[in-house]
Structures are given as structure tokens and as C-alpha cells.
Structure 1
Amino acid sequence: MADAFGDQLPSEVRSRRLALGLTQQDLADMAGVSERFVRFVEQGKPSVQLDSLLAVLDTLGLELRITTRTGKGARALAGHTTGQEPRR
């Protein structure tokens, strides 16, 4: 997980769960995952199963979105795919 995502995801999940008045066990039961998994998500564990994460997010009414990055890495990749050398 990228740093910003890795920091934001646990906070968003925890905040939404608390706003809904759910315990970690409540959320786990509703999402069909273990309470340990919910705890790992809220702690920002760097490796979690995507299907289980999506189940937790769906249960909380949250979604994961993918967008095109506009940073230096994205510009370098764009140059690579067009056959041009990336600018440095």
C-alpha cells in the first residue's frame, strides 16, 4: 500500500465503523471476515486479502477507487509507453 493510502484506509475504516456504532466483532460478522482481520485493517497491516478488504468496505458503505496518478512516476510511465525517454 502506498503511504497515503496505507495511512488513510485504517483511519477511514475505524471512523466509519465507530460512526455506525459497530464493534470490530459486529463488523466482522456482517462482512463475513474474522475480527482479527478487521483489527489488521484498522492497524494498517501492509498485507491483507483484497477480497476480504472489499467485503469490509462494502459493509461500511465505503468503496475503493483507482485513479490515474499525476506524479513523477506516472509521467515516467507515460513516456515509457509512448516510446519516449522520461524527463528527469
Structure 2
Amino acid sequence: MNTKEIGTFIKERRQSLNINQLELSELAGVGINTVVAIERGQGNPKLETLLAVADTLGLQVEIKLKERTYEEM
């Protein structure tokens, strides 16, 4: 999932809960500009920020780490 898809997913979830961007930013403890940027798929939010927003919306984030072999490095 890329940042644009994540942003769209977060926006749709927020709207389904009838929460506006300002309310989400206050509940998640992040700036309004951060919420706007995330929903637009812009920037590169810190993992901590993304987790705070997701948690506020009742979402879980699953992280998969890619294994690298020594030949790839």
C-alpha cells in the first residue's frame, strides 16, 4: 500500500465515523496540517504519527519487514 492509498483509506474511515480533520488531529494529538498531508498522500509521516492516527480511528497497522540477503546489499 502506498502513501496515497493509505491517505485515502484514513480519509474514508474518518468520514465514516463523522469526524472532521480538526477533531481527528486533536484526538490523535497531531497537527491539523499533518492530518491533511496524510490524507492527501503527501509527505512522509513518522511511524509514531501514523500509528496515533490509525489508533484514533480504531485501525490496526501491520508492518512487514522485507528480508534482505547479503547479495542485495
TM-score (norm 1): 0.69
Alignment partner of 2:48: what SS? helix
What residue is the counterpart of 1:10 in the other structure? 7
1:64 Cα deviation (Å)?
1.4
| Higher Rg | 1
Which 4+ stretches in 1 moved above 2 angstroms? none
The one-letter code sitting in structure 2 at the alignment partner of 1:24 is Q
After superposition, the CA RMSD in angstroms is: 1.9
What residue is the counterpart of 1:50 in the other structure? 47
- Contact 2:3–2:38, Cα closer than 8 Å, also in 1: no
Bigger relative contact order, structure 1 or 2, given CA contacts below 8 A and separation 6+?
2
1:68 Cα deviation (Å)?
5.6
Unaligned runs of 5+ in 1: none
What residue is the counterpart of 1:24 in the other structure? 21
**Paired residues, what number?**
72
